[in-house]
Structure 1
Amino acid sequence: MSTTYGGLTIDWLGYATSRITDGERVVYIDPGRYGVLDGYDARDGDLVLVTHDDHYDPDGIERVAADDAVVCVFEEIRSEEIDRESRPVSDLEYEIRRVGTGDSFAVDGIKIEAISAYNTSEGHVRADGTPYHPEGEGVGYRLDFGDTTVFYPGDSDVIEEYEGLTADVFLAPIDDAFTMSPGAVLDLAERIGAELVVPVHYDTFEALEADDEAFAASARERGLTVELLSPEV
């Protein structure tokens, strides 16, 4: 199940994995983890974006990336520091770009901005009070396709770096376990002027369970357009 906006077709493939295409260029964000791409072997991605180590999945990248893909990976991801089996970024056989917070660049005519992503001390924290995602350990991405902009915040609370941000499409994590709360999502959607809100990053496992129908109802009460997608691959 897909949705369309401004010449773009958007799919949510499960967990944080989104596929966006304008019919010529194909972009994937945070492909893989937790088996969400089992059985998926499109290998049609021109651009693959990875936000932080929780979403770094070499197998997932290989399932979505075309042979000549550009794979952009947050610069602080180190496979040897990930507490699960992984492979070094340098082993991926694509054009690799390491991305830092605040970087702006273009790939295949798509303008990309890497925006800081983190949990605040007042937001989502562990039992000892430390944020699940400290500042400096990940990014979100704003994509400009020319006529339409898309924002995915990664694993983050609402942070000051979003001041002045605008986007037509908001890929909104709604799990409220490691990312901003549903209410904060709606507030942010209004602030950035989102014309379409697409919930992602929920229901993959128990900690991410969310009531997407209640979220959609709240969004519509506030005059927002929301599209619930089925994460089938």
Structure 2
Amino acid sequence: MTVRFDAVTVDWFGLATVRLEGQTGAVVYTDPGPERYGFLDDYEARDGDLILVSHDHHYDPDAIRRVAREDALIVIHESIDAAEVDGVDERPERLPFEVERVRADESFVLGPLDLFTTPAYNDPDGPHTDEHGTPYHPEGRGCGFGVTIDGTTAFWPGDTDAFPFHEELDVDLFLPPIGGTFTMDRREAASLADAIDPDLVLPVHYDTFDAIETDEDAFVVDVARRGVPVVLDG
């Protein structure tokens, strides 16, 4: 199902893979793949102008090739190291595209698109840690992305907990992770959506595998009761 919102059409494929297309034709993908989950098996659009990769767990060279145009720009967090990704040998700089590494908390103008990044991590004192108390996503190892397409700002916060700095953002379309375990869960995401107060919420990063299964309908009810427009894609 394609969601149409203002000047942008939105498709969620699974996990954090989202396709955004503006009225003027610019196409952006967030975190394509990883292919091991199978949701891009039959997809080879190769139409993406801008590909955003938030952290190493979502870095997949084959998936990037499936979605990116020959002249695409690949924007990835500075920490991504292919040597630390299971089953991946190809460094980002070896991809046949222009590759730009970014830190968290930066902003750019990329032709007709405005882009900003935010920190994305799990609080070591919070609930999203492993059995040893280690955050699944340590600070400094990933980012979120906001991109403005034809006047509409979409924000994918990355694999992260909800933090006070998120509440200060001015975004139109909010794409929160709601699966829990490795990120904020549906209740935390609903509270954050209430604080941000975007024009539309479309949740992602849930139900792709067992550890992030959640009740997306309960999330919709929770957000809608707070007076925030919300929709599911899928």
Quick check: 2:194–2:223 contact (8 Å CA) kept in 1?
no
Quick check: 2:122–2:160 contact (8 Å CA) kept in 1?
yes
Alpha-carbon displacement from aligned partner over 1:114-165 (angstroms, at most 9, x marks no partner): 1100001223111111111010000001112252111101000012432521
Quick check: 2:28–2:48 contact (8 Å CA) kept in 1?
yes
CA separation in 1, counterparts of 2:220 and 2:50? Answer: 29
Structure 2 residue aligned with 1:45: 48
Asked if residue 178 in structure 1 is aligned to residue 182 in structure 2, the reply is yes
Structure 2 residue aligned with 1:22: 22
Q: Residues 28-177 of structure 1: matches in 2 within 5 Å? A: 28-33=29-34, 34-120=37-123, 121-177=125-181
Structure 1 residue aligned with 2:231: 227
Alpha-carbon displacement from aligned partner over 1:152-196 (angstroms, at most 9, x marks no partner): 010000124325212110011110111112121111112212111
Structure 1 residue aligned with 2:5: 5
CA separation in 2, counterparts of 1:192 and 1:226? Answer: 13
CA separation in 2, counterparts of 1:209 and 1:194? Answer: 24
Quick check: 1:123–1:180 contact (8 Å CA) kept in 2?
no
Quick check: 2:167–2:192 contact (8 Å CA) kept in 1?
no
State the Cα RMSD in Å. Answer: 1.2
CA separation in 2, counterparts of 1:221 and 1:190? Answer: 10
Quick check: 2:186–2:214 contact (8 Å CA) kept in 1?
no
Counterpart code for 1:90: E
Shift of 1:35: 1.7
SS in 2 for 1:173: coil
Q: Percent identity?
A: 44
Deviating beyond 4 angstroms after TM superposition, the runs of 4 or more aligned structure 1 residues are none
Stretch deviating more after TM superposition (26-35 or 138-147): 138-147
CA separation in 2, counterparts of 1:226 and 1:86? Answer: 39
Count of matched residue positions in the alignment of Structure 1 and Structure 2: 230
Shift of 1:200: 0.6
Counterpart code for 1:21: E
Give the alignment partner of residue 212 of structure 2, picking from 193, 208, 218.
208
**Structure 2, unpaired ranges of 5+:** none
CA separation in 2, counterparts of 1:160 and 1:59? Answer: 35
Quick check: 1:116–1:161 contact (8 Å CA) kept in 2?
no
Quick check: 1:117–1:140 contact (8 Å CA) kept in 2?
yes
Shift of 1:203: 0.8
CA separation in 1, counterparts of 2:5 and 2:39? Answer: 24
Quick check: 2:60–2:88 contact (8 Å CA) kept in 1?
no
CA separation in 2, counterparts of 1:145 and 1:82? Answer: 31
